[in-house]
Structure 1
Amino acid sequence: MTLGYPRRVAMISLHTSPLATPGVGDAGGLNVYVGELARRLGERGLKVDVFTRADSDGPDVVELNEHTRVVHLPVGPRGPVPKEALPRLVPDFAAALEPVIERYDLVHSHYWLSGVAGLELKQRHGLPLVHTMHTMARVKNAALGGAQQAEPDVRDRGEAAIVAAADGLTANTGDEAAELITHYGARPDQITVVPPGVDLHTFHPCDQPKSRAQLGVPLRAQVILFVGRVQPLKAPDVLIKAVAELVRADPDRRERLRLIIIGSPSGPDADWSRTLPPLAEELGVGDLVDFRPHSARAELFRWYCASDLVGVPSYNESFGLVALEAQACARPVVATDVGGLRHAVDDGQTGYLVAGHGAHDWAKAMAAVLDDPDEALRLGINAAIHASAFSWDNTAAATLGAYHRAVC
């Protein structure tokens, strides 16, 4: 280590690779976060190896840049494993790191499964451990809704052990830092607030007519967009119900209103996604809802651009990268008034925050954007300015501060 900073970092993302496409299976904002952070740290001269479980027949090592690699460890079957079955693989994953872990100055783990593996390595080798929760069992269980399943006790116990022993914890927001203290007894001096970023080269203000022409979206359409894993936590059903409410209140809107849901089923609730098309039919809006699979990020940029607003109705979000990406594209966001979305969205300036998940409240907030072009333009301009302050370079700089405190 030099000047109080680690030179080599073992970054652990056990359950999902930063190379995975967000919106597929368990891949989402965490994948983007790990990949972007590792790249930016590498650009600052740190040697960063991201260790993940090999779940395909791809190459064992993939270089992201001159100093950053993704290393796939042969732990468990070389294929997908349900997230709920992964805890039993944690000891094997930690063991697979044993031959190389002494090369590193610090371990940075992401999500609780990685944190438990990192904790084993810390205890055996005395390495500093920095952990990023991304989501927390106790916070999620306190905000369950709809068809969501409670997080298991093994996760609760694992997270408590990580917090008790970690040299550093990073939190997306001050609110998340407070949750670490309240729910897990974290020490304030353990925590560094590290806001996530957005890829401003990929996501930026764009031409809506051009994007609609490329995607085959009518120019007159009022387009509401949902992006993310299709699961109860993300609550795309709320948008379907709100669309039905919009049409009920104004039947003429049917000719132009569209809800586009982009993403794939995820987690133990994967079958829940099958309830959404019947729900749309039951509410009389089956013809207005377009279900699409995950998109590559370049194509996703075009979908953001083609939309009039992006809905983020999650029951809980540690931050909300989709909200940031949408705003970077100058699109207003309507989101639930929870967690990190309160920081990602500037209520009344870049979009609107909705208390709860009532269809009437969501319809009212979305209509305020859809039916007032001047307001939509104001929100969109503010959104792009707001998002520009969230860069991955800033995220990397704040993370280096966490590393410094952990090693000193």
Structure 2
Amino acid sequence: MSPRRRHNTQLRRVALLSVHTSPLAQPGTGDAGGMNVYVLNTAKELSKRGVEVDIFTRATASTQPLSHRPMPGVTVYHVPAGPYEGLNKNDLPSQLCAFTAGVLRTEAHRPEHHWDLIHSHYWLSGQVGWVASERWGVPLVHTFHTLAKVKNASLSEDETPEPQARIIGEQQITDIATRLHANTCSEARELHSHYGADLQRIDIVPPGVNLDTYQPRTHDRIAATRRALGLDDHHIAIAFVGRIQPAKGPDTILKGIADLSRRRPELAGRLVPIFIGGPSNSDPYWLPKLAAELGLSDSAMFLDPRHGSALADLYGAVDMVAVPSHNESFGLVALEAQAGGTPVLATRTGGLTTAVADEYSGLLVDGHHPRRWANAIEALADNPSWRHRLGRGAREHSRGFSWSATAGKLIDSYGEMLRERAASRVMTSDRL
């Protein structure tokens, strides 16, 4: 390397790797979720600060262009790797060689040292980032988003454990990455305890929320949305937003309402559970069948995924949002709902203990026993004034998170890493 490159600490261009899901995909179905939102919004904020961002993701349709610029300074590359359709993330390890080749082929058409660093998301991307970082001679930053060992320790009844190949892959990335990013301090501790990660190489970078999009709605807008949903003042609506899969625990809401109906049938009869999302590697009729078995088919609603202002309208129209995940590295849905002034019921697990301020912006529930969720739902359903106070706290709590703040922490982490790398190389050259 030339001395100019060896001593450079200026952040100009970043390559983001998101193999298994595109940041342009609709969250809430298939493999698309909070990670999509994270990658797209951080890329947007980095570009506002003058950093060029190139995102590499797997092509999933023949109609997708090889590259697309969703906004100035951000380019998404759709890399062909395996058949366009019919693959989920569990099938993708067999396509990592093809994906890596596509990424390296793109780099071959760029000037030497085009990117200053690689930031990979999820373990599949980390495997690609490992090869690319060595080939390009740049540092690798990695965010796991979820960890196999943590997921396996808190599986729902219907979940299959994460494979050993993923655990091995995560361990390899932990060992070789220049820097690891965790959403919360608890995730950093999990990286250390489960994978032996050096805490000195972990930076805490909490996700954010778009406070302009997700904000309290006017009374007229709330009333219009409730009318469109068929809700009147008598109804108490509970929304679940996300992929319909056992890991996210949407069945917990139905089981909690069913438990409550045996004690408080008049209250349970007012409850309307609304599920906004699509199936994700599970039986698409699993949740409606459960609703029928529990006698809740008439009250439960199942809606297609939505985003942006349409989703914000829905958050504003319901009385509470439930996030009953078995594990969450953070829980962006909880932040979005709170930003709109809606209290959240969430499992006391992982990053949700940071995303939700217990008894200030919502309630944290221990475990998934139907009675515990019934009690939490009952507590908020019975007390509109408490829901209102929690809603005010929810909005205030959400103000501590923004994508601008997330991008600022990313740039601080990147900059420190580049400076350390440059200093190390100066010391090495001096010894030589």
With the shorter chain as reference, the TM-score category is: over 0.9
* CA positional deviation for 1:79: 2.9
> Aligned letter for 2:11?
P
> Aligned letter for 1:14?
V
Which of these residues, 138, 146, 159, is aligned with residue 170 of structure 2? 159
* CA deviation vs aligned residue, 1:78-106 (integer Å, no higher than 9, x gap): 33512111001111111111133342111
User: Across the two proteins, how many residue pairs are aligned to each other?
Assistant: 405
Distance (whole Å) between structure 2 residues aligned to residue 27 and residue 259 of structure 1: 22
> Aligned letter for 1:10?
A
Alignment map for 1:245-324 (pairs within 5 Å): 245-267=259-281, 270-271=282-283, 273-324=284-335
Alignment of 1:141 onto 2:152: yes
Who is 2:427 aligned against?
A: none
Secondary structure of the residue aligned to 1:303 is: helix
Task: Please say if residues 227 and 261 of structure 1, whose CA atoms lie closer than 8 Å, have aligned partners that are also in contact.
Answer: yes
Change (3 A) 1:5 1:353: farther
Who is 1:374 aligned against?
A: 385
Which of these residues, 11, 14, 24, is aligned with residue 19 of structure 1? 24
* CA positional deviation for 1:211: 2.6
> Aligned letter for 2:418?
V
Distance (whole Å) between structure 2 residues aligned to residue 376 and residue 35 of structure 1: 32
- Tell which deviates more after alignment, 211-220 or 314-323: 211-220
CA RMSD in angstroms, aligned pairs only: 1.5
Secondary structure of the residue aligned to 2:389 is: helix
Distance (whole Å) between structure 2 residues aligned to residue 125 and residue 3 of structure 1: 15
Q: Sequence identity of aligned pairs in percent?
A: 46
Distance (whole Å) between structure 2 residues aligned to residue 175 and residue 351 of structure 1: 20
> Aligned letter for 2:243?
R
Distance (whole Å) between structure 2 residues aligned to residue 246 and residue 205 of structure 1: 29
> Whose radius of gyration is greater, 1 or 2?
2
Alignment map for 1:33-44 (pairs within 5 Å): 33-44=38-49
- Tell which deviates more after alignment, 131-140 or 2-11: 2-11
Secondary structure of the residue aligned to 1:287 is: coil
Distance (whole Å) between structure 2 residues aligned to residue 233 and residue 79 of structure 1: 23
Which of these residues, 336, 346, 351, is aligned with residue 347 of structure 2? 336
Task: Please say if residues 263 and 293 of structure 1, whose CA atoms lie closer than 8 Å, have aligned partners that are also in contact.
Answer: yes
Who is 2:65 aligned against?
A: 59
Alignment map for 1:96-111 (pairs within 5 Å): 96-101=102-107, 102-111=113-122
TM-score by length of 2: 0.91
* CA positional deviation for 1:206: 1.2
Alignment of 1:120 onto 2:158: no
Who is 1:385 aligned against?
A: 396
* CA positional deviation for 1:55: 0.5
Distance (whole Å) between structure 1 residues aligned to residue 331 and residue 371 of structure 2: 23
* CA deviation vs aligned residue, 1:365-400 (integer Å, no higher than 9, x gap): 111111111100100000001111110000001111
Change (3 A) 1:98 1:68: same
Alignment map for 1:143-222 (pairs within 5 Å): 143-207=154-218, 208-222=222-236
Secondary structure of the residue aligned to 1:403 is: helix
TM-score by length of 1: 0.96
Which of these residues, 406, 409, 415, is aligned with residue 404 of structure 1? 415
Alignment of 1:82 onto 2:96: no
Secondary structure of the residue aligned to 1:48 is: strand
Who is 1:234 aligned against?
A: 248
Structure 2 residue runs of 5 or longer lacking an equivalent are 108-112, 420-432
Secondary structure of the residue aligned to 2:239 is: strand
> Aligned letter for 1:34?
V
Distance (whole Å) between structure 2 residues aligned to residue 72 and residue 298 of structure 1: 27
Change (3 A) 1:198 1:3: farther
Task: Please say if residues 223 and 259 of structure 1, whose CA atoms lie closer than 8 Å, have aligned partners that are also in contact.
Answer: yes
- Tell which deviates more after alignment, 115-124 or 335-344: 115-124
Distance (whole Å) between structure 2 residues aligned to residue 383 and residue 3 of structure 1: 43
Structure 1 residue runs of 5 or longer lacking an equivalent are none
Distance (whole Å) between structure 1 residues aligned to residue 377 and residue 399 of structure 2: 24
